[in-house]
Chain A
Amino acid sequence: MASRIFGSGIKRREDPRLITGKGKFTGDIMLPHMLHMVVVRSPYAHATIKHIDVTAAAAVEGVVAVYTNADMTLANIPCAWLIPNSNLKLVPHPPLAKEKVRYVGDGVAIVLAESRDIAQDAADLVRVDYEALTAVVNPEEASMDGAPLLHVEAPNNIAFRWIASSGDAGVEKAFAEADVVVKERIVQQRLQPSSMETRAAVAQWDSGNEEMTLWVSSQNPHIARFVVSGVAGLPEHKLRVIAPEVGGGFGAKLPIYPDEVLTVWAARKLDRPVKWVESRSENYTVTTHGRDHIEYVEIAATKEGKVTALRGKVYAGMGGYLSTAAPGIPTIAHGLMYSGVYTIPNLRCESIGVFTTTTPVDAYRGAGRPEATFLVERLMDKLADKLGMDPVVLRRKNLIPPFANGYTVAMGITYDSGNYEGALAKALGIADYDQLRKEQAEARTKGRYIGIGVTTYAELCGFGPSAVAGATGFQGGLWESAIVRVSPVGKVQVLIGASPHGQGEETTFAQIISDELGFPVKDIDVIHGDTSRTPMGWGTYGSRTTAVGGAALVLAARKIKEKARAMAAHLLEAAVEDIDYDDGKFFVKGSPDKFKTIQDATLMATLAWNLPPGMEPGMEASQFYDPPNFTYPFGAHIAVVEIDPDTGKVDLKRYIAVDDCGPQINPVIVKGQVHGGLAQGIGQALCEGAVYDDNGQLLTGAMTDYAIPRADMFPQFEIDHTVTPSPHHPIGVKGIGEAGTIASTPTIYNAVIDALKPFGIESINMPLTAPRVWAAIQEARANHAIGGR
């Protein structure tokens, strides 16, 4: 057999068109008679709208219409993750604000004009009479008595309160009886997803057929159709949603926003195509942010280092409204993962969603799981310090032993497979951990501050099954689908419901098909992102496209293979049971020289001149796949940092990532996903963070102020892997999109705190910028008069 295409690091087939500027993004779409929409947005974080005067704007030459909430009867923008038993307050979110605005950027009017410049000029002339109200930006403060109230429906601004517990009595008892309890207040600072392409939408109304086409920069066009048709009052089969090239999403292109709905509404109202493209400033103030937790967490252990319990209380900022998936993130995607890779018997998570006068919060790469991993990994390091134990030794005392098919944690979810010690041992070996500790001790005697951070993690991803979606209040399914269609001459179209936007599935899915059926990759096209061409699917997020969509694809391919086998058997005049297959060829067992290729079988099945009895013509297979469980990738990461005590600057010297996502379809793409994930997670640890002032103005609203990580921050990443297949996936794969983000933030954080140990510093709020680290050192020196030079 030829060398397997599965597992080979072939180049991404998407890249030639993207790196030569030939990719077609939503913003590239130009239609005849197209209008341009600009949204007039609130400059206030919290205000009552007294009056809106659009006269001057409407009078500008080239302006076709100016609309406010009063002009439209649109449904509210829905929230789609209605966590049960949480007293969730489903507050109204009109596409344009009606009586009140609740964050800077809340839309109050739309201007439609012949050009974007004209629309912007006119937007500046819309006069809105606001009466300012008090802003509140901190979720913990917003939940207190007397805080400014955003929605009358949600007293104390509490959107929901959710508790997950292994049993409160057990948790209480474990803390009461613990030898050691370690506590921490963690601020998971708010992050601004910074995809290269901002959001954009183009809507075209075909009034003759009463059909709407919406091009949108989205991670999930089928969900967009599902939701937009409902809000805009269009029959779902009359709305076609296309996600063309999408320049990054990171979770923020998962929600359904007012802007896309307004684009659709205006196109129909005016019977002209309408285009809306978000500016970078709008992207930072309007597109959903991530994280924004204030957490109080504590861990209980015996003096020997056996962890007995972990509990936490989370104030999760929701922003001004509940975005599409927002309530699921600090709850299901977070609390259920509290124990990470450890055998912690008693767990409790209380998660309080709180409205604040800020940009709504939703998924951001990892979404809930980075926060969970951070808190348990932070507490493990702090506990190790308190016990005077090496953090690796402490982790090893508590790791879940290797398992191949199911391990149920105290929160009740069942991990699919794991070998945490295997990944940890490999990472420690690459790092030469013992030697690193020696070098660290040596450096300290010379006044150098080197720190080592070690994280072991598991993540819950491959979002599905749908029954869990239903049980947790997710207003959709979590299955995927695939159609494999082979043309008469043996070219393959793969149509998938998921919507890759940078993850490389045009390549990896072709590798799967090639591996299953023997077609060369060049003969396989992977088609996605168009509700009229592809079968239904729930989108690309939660590292689920390969874990769920890939499974649908494999099963569809296997249907093709069985049909081709039957056809080949017929052509070879042999019984199906006697037919062997190797690398695209069917032959009678023992006679590999006399074969029919899969292309032969396809042609004859398509011509249908002589089919076996009962066989349908054609070579096409469809598969819906609802997974039996999530997948649980895992790994171990190690960072080495050095702190410049004079400036506080953190220098990342080494980063070792050993991840296990099961068998790798394309190791180069896996590595790319890990690199990107690491960059984003390290960005949270070291430089990223949204800052609001007390009036709710976003002070990090431009790329000159919001620090995304740059290449020169990073050493050469040392990437390796272990392979532990998922027992329930047809080819064992798990997902890798979020791993780097989930593990790297605590790894860096723990390394920095480890470096600062001589100063007695236990905690610094992220991001760990030079001024913050320096200030912590100064304070420690003032308090302890140690560690100085």
Chain B
Amino acid sequence: MCPASFDYHRPASVAEAVQLLSRPGAKALAGGHSLIPAMNLRVAQPGELVDIGRLDVLRGIRVDGNRLIIGALSTHAQIAASPEVQKHCAALATACSTVGDPAVRNWGTIGGNLAHADPASDPPTVVLACDAVIHTQGENGQRAIKAADFFVDVFTVDLQPGELITSIEIPSQSHRRMAYVKLPHPASRYAVVGVCVSMHTSGGVCDQIAIAVGGATAKATRATGAQSALLGSLLEAEALEAAAIAISADIGDQAVSDIYANATYRRAMAGVLLKRAVKAL
């Protein structure tokens, strides 16, 4: 297929990019691995493409105190291979290493991934579990948006027209143990269900925990019931079973059904994956 015609811009600065993106019908192009397939199918027909791929200021992964700062143009492959990410947010490295295939991981970017907000994508689940902050720049200046507020619905995030993700800030999880486990769709390799756990134990007792589940609902979701079930527990079999039941309830009737897997399966798998994630810690 061939896309509908469009104008192409390659801004030299974030400010110029924001200005271009503020125009009606403009769309940011980073790795292009979500946008271009949609354009080829003419599902997306942006009138103007703003190629932000040369904005080097949006690249790079660094540690600032106890915060991990990931530039929006970092690719999945760069994140998966980054020693900083492996140390401070290991599950994000895992998640990014399972996105798509090598071509997608070498081109696709974390910023584009989060902005696209595919409900079955892997990184949003981890970002949500880590209480990350999404930094953006728009016409009205910069914003810092909590991940919990950022993801709104299917393919919908809290970004204004023209607003660009510049970086993702993740509180270091190095004092915690993390895992991300998923059941990949056999064709797309997106998560049918993906579960991220970030946990701290003290004397065998779970005293800090964050759990997020993706793929199962319209957007990545924090499993608050499951968190409660495990917090204060010794992670014994009964607690894990209770957490598995709780995560199914957390998803509840928000679970999605499609031709591959129905809601019942997704609810049940969230529990199975949660148990496996905890065991993998």
In the complex the two chains form, what is the Cα distance from A647 to B181 in whole Å?
A: 13
Any chain A CB within 8 A of the CB of B262? yes
Q: Is A281 an interface residue (CB 8 A)?
A: yes
Q: Which residues of A contact B265 (CB under 8 A)?
A: 771, 774-775
Q: Taking the complex as formed, is A116 at the interface, i.e. its CB lies under 8 A from any CB of chain B? A: yes
Q: Which residues of A contact B68 (CB under 8 A)?
A: none
Give the total of B residues in contact with A, Cβ under 8 Å.
22
Within 8 A of A (CB), among B207-255: none
CB contact list, A667-694 vs B, under 8 A: 686-687, 691
Q: Which residues of A have CB within 8 Å of B272? A: 646-647
Cβ-defined contact, B1 with A770, below 8 A:
no
A-B pair count, CB < 8 Å, reads: 55
Indicate whether A750 reaches chain B with its CB closer than 8 angstroms: no
* Interface pair A281/B41, CB less than 8 Å apart: yes
Q: Mark B259-280, 1 if CB is under 8 A from A, else 0.
A: 1111011001100100000000
A771 pairs with B4, CB closer than 8 A? no
Q: Is A55 part of the binding interface, using a Cβ–Cβ cutoff of 8 Å?
A: no
Q: Evaluate whether A705 and B259 lie within 8 angstroms (CB atoms) in the complex, with A647-B269, A771-B265, A774-B265 already known.
A: yes
Per-position 1/0 for A742-784, Cβ under 8 A of B: 0000000000000000000000000001110011000000000
User: How distant is the Cα of A686 from the Cα of B187 in the complex, in angstroms?
Assistant: 12
Contact of B1 among A279, A649, A686, A707 (CB under 8 A): A279
Nearest-Cβ distance from residue B254 to partner chain A, whole angstroms: 18
Cβ of B142 within 8 Å of any chain A Cβ, yes or no, is no
Interface positions of A from 19 to 68, Cβ below 8 Å from B: none
Contacts of B192 in A (CB 8 A): 771
In the complex, residue of chain B having the shortest beta-carbon distance to the beta carbon of A705: B187
Let me know if B186 and A707 touch, CB within 8 A.
Answer: yes
Determine the residue in chain A with the shortest Cβ distance to B186: A707
Within 8 A of A (CB), among B1-32: 1-2, 4-5
Chain A stretch 632-655: residues in CB contact (< 8 A) with chain B: 646-647, 649
Residue in B42, B187, B261, B262 whose CB lies within 8 Å of A703: B187
Give Cα distance in the complex from A116 to B5, angstroms: 12
Q: Give every chain A residue within 8 A of B42 (Cβ-Cβ).
A: 120, 124
**Which B residues lie within 8 Å of A769 (CB)?**
186, 260
Interface centre among A280, A700, A769, A771 (most CB of B within 10 A): A771
**A226 CA to B269 CA in the complex, in Å?**
55
A716 touches B (CB below 8 Å):
no
Tell whether A236 is near chain B: CB-to-CB under 8 Å: no
A207 within 8 A of B: no
Task: Using CB atoms, name the residue of chain B closest to A770.
Answer: B183
Q: Which residues of A contact B269 (CB under 8 A)?
A: 647
Would B259 and A774 count as touching, CB distance under 8 A?
A: no
Residue pair B1, A771 in contact (C-beta under 8 Å): no
B188, CB-defined interface residue at 8 Å: yes
Q: Which of A121, A702, A707 contacts B5 (CB 8 A)?
A: A121
Return chain A residues, CB-CB under 8 Å to B186: 686-687, 707, 710, 769
A435 on interface, CB distance cutoff 8 Å: no
Is B268 a contact of A707 with CB atoms below 8 Å?
no
Find the B residue at minimum CB distance from A775: B265
**CB-defined contacts of B2 to chain A, threshold 8 Å:** 116-117, 120
For residue A704, CB closer than 8 A to chain B, the reply is yes
List the A side residues contacting B187 at CB < 8 Å: 687, 703-708
Asked if A443 is at the interface (CB within 8 A of a chain B CB), the reply is: no
Q: How far is the CB of B35 from chain A (nearest CB, A)?
A: 14
Q: Does A404 contact B (CB under 8 A)?
A: no
Select which of A281, A647, A705 is within 8 A of B188 by beta carbon.
A705
Contact A699 B183 (CB under 8 A): no
Asked, given contacts A647-B183, A647-B269, whether A120 binds B1 with beta carbons under 8 Å apart, the answer is yes
Mostly, the B contact residues are loop
Report the bound CA distance from A700 to B259 in whole Å: 9
Q: Which residues on the B side are within 8 Å of A117 (C-beta)?
A: 2, 5
B259-A704 in contact (CB<8A): no
Bound Cα distance from A592 to B272, whole angstroms = 76
A121 to B42, CA, bound (A): 10
In the complex, how many angstroms separate the beta carbon of B237 from the nearest chain A beta carbon?
Answer: 12
Is there an interface contact between A691 and B259, defined as CB atoms closer than 8 Å?
yes
Chain A residues near B183 (CB-CB < 8 A): 647, 649, 770
> Which B residues touch A703, using CB under 8 A?
187
Q: Report how far A710 CA is from B187 CA in the complex, Å.
A: 9
**0 or 1 for each of B167-201: is its CB under 8 Å from A? (1 = yes):** 00000000000000001011110101000000000
Bound-complex Cα distance A307 to B42 (A): 57
- Which residues of B in the span 24-75 have a Cβ within 8 Å of any Cβ on A? 41-42
The residue of chain A having its C-beta at the shortest distance from the C-beta of B41 within the complex is: A281
Distance to closest chain A CB from B64 (angstroms): 37
A420 → chain B closest CB, angstroms: 34
Q: Using CB atoms, name the residue of chain B closest to A699.
A: B259
A775 CA to B268 CA, complexed, in Å: 11
A53-89 vs B, CB cutoff 8 Å, 1 = contact: the mask equals 0000000000000000000000000000000000000
Least CB separation from A767: chain B residue: B186
> Which of A117, A649, A703, A705 has the largest number of chain B CB atoms within 10 A?
A705
Q: Taking CB as reference atom, which chain A residue is nearest B272?
A: A646
Tell me which residues across on chain A come within 8 A of B190, comparing CB atoms.
704
Chain A's closest residue to B262 (CB) is: A771
Q: In the complex, what distance in Å separates the CA atom of A691 from the CA atom of B259?
A: 8
Q: Tell me the smallest distance from the CB of B130 to a CB of chain A, in Å.
A: 26
- What's the minimum C-beta distance from B132 to chain A, rounded to whole angstroms? 27
Q: How far is the CB of A187 from chain B (nearest CB, A)?
A: 15
A703 nearest CB neighbor, chain B only: B187
* Least Cβ–Cβ distance between A519 and chain B, in angstroms: 43
Q: Please measure, in the bound complex, the distance between the C-alpha atom of A279 and the C-alpha atom of B269, giving whole angstroms.
A: 36
> In the complex, A687 Cα to B272 Cα: how many Å?
22
Minimum distance in angstroms from B250 CB to a CB of chain A: 19
B residues less than 8 Å from A120 (CB atoms): 1-2, 4, 42
Cα separation A687 to B190 with both chains bound (whole Å): 15
Please, which residues of chain B bring their CB within 8 A of the CB of A710? 186
Closest residue on chain B to residue A278 by CB atoms: B1
Residues of B within 8 A of A647 (CB): 183, 269, 272
Q: Contact: A281 with B1, CB < 8 Å? A: yes
The CA-CA distance from A124 to B41 in the complex, in Å, is: 12
- Residues of chain B within 8 A of A649, CB atoms compared: 183
Please name the residue on chain A nearest to B187 by beta carbon: A707
Q: In the assembly, what is the distance between CA of A687 and CA of B184, in Å?
A: 13
- What's the Cα separation between A686 and B260 when bound, in Å? 12
Contact B4–A121 (Cβ < 8 Å): yes
B188 touches A771 (CB 8 A): no
The minimal Cβ–Cβ distance linking A14 to chain B, given in whole angstroms, is 25
Q: Which residues of B contact A281 (CB under 8 A)?
A: 1, 41
Shortest C-beta distance, A103 to chain B (Å), equals 19
Q: Which residues of B contact A705 (CB under 8 A)?
A: 187-188, 259-260
Selected contact of A774 from candidates B4, B5, B41, B268, CB within 8 Å = B268
Contact yes or no, B261 A771, CB < 8 A = yes
Contact with B along A689-724 (1 / 0, CB 8 A): 001000000011011111110100000000000000
Q: What is the CA–CA distance of A97 and B178 in the complex, to the nearest angstrom?
A: 58
Closest B residue to A648 by CB, please name it. B265
**Chain B residues positioned under 8 Å from A699 (CB to CB):** 259
A348 to chain B, nearest CB (A): 35
Chain B positions near chain A (C-beta within 8 angstroms): 1-2, 4-5, 41-42, 183, 185-188, 190, 192, 259-262, 264-265, 268-269, 272
A residues in contact (CB < 8 Å) with B: 116-117, 120-121, 124, 279-281, 646-647, 649, 686-687, 691, 699-700, 702-708, 710, 769-771, 774-775
15 A-B residue pairs with Cβ-Cβ distance under 8 Å, sorted by A, are A120-B42, A279-B1, A280-B1, A281-B1, A687-B186, A703-B187, A704-B185, A704-B190, A705-B187, A705-B188, A706-B187, A707-B185, A707-B186, A707-B187, A771-B261
Which are the 7 A-B pairs with shortest beta-carbon distances? A707-B187, A707-B186, A704-B188, A279-B1, A771-B261, A771-B265, A687-B186
Not counting A699-B259, A704-B190, A705-B259, a sample of 19 additional A-B residue pairs whose C-beta atoms are within 8 angstroms of each other reads A116-B2, A120-B2, A280-B1, A281-B1, A646-B272, A647-B269, A649-B183, A687-B186, A687-B187, A700-B259, A703-B187, A705-B187, A707-B185, A707-B187, A710-B186, A769-B260, A770-B183, A771-B260, A775-B265
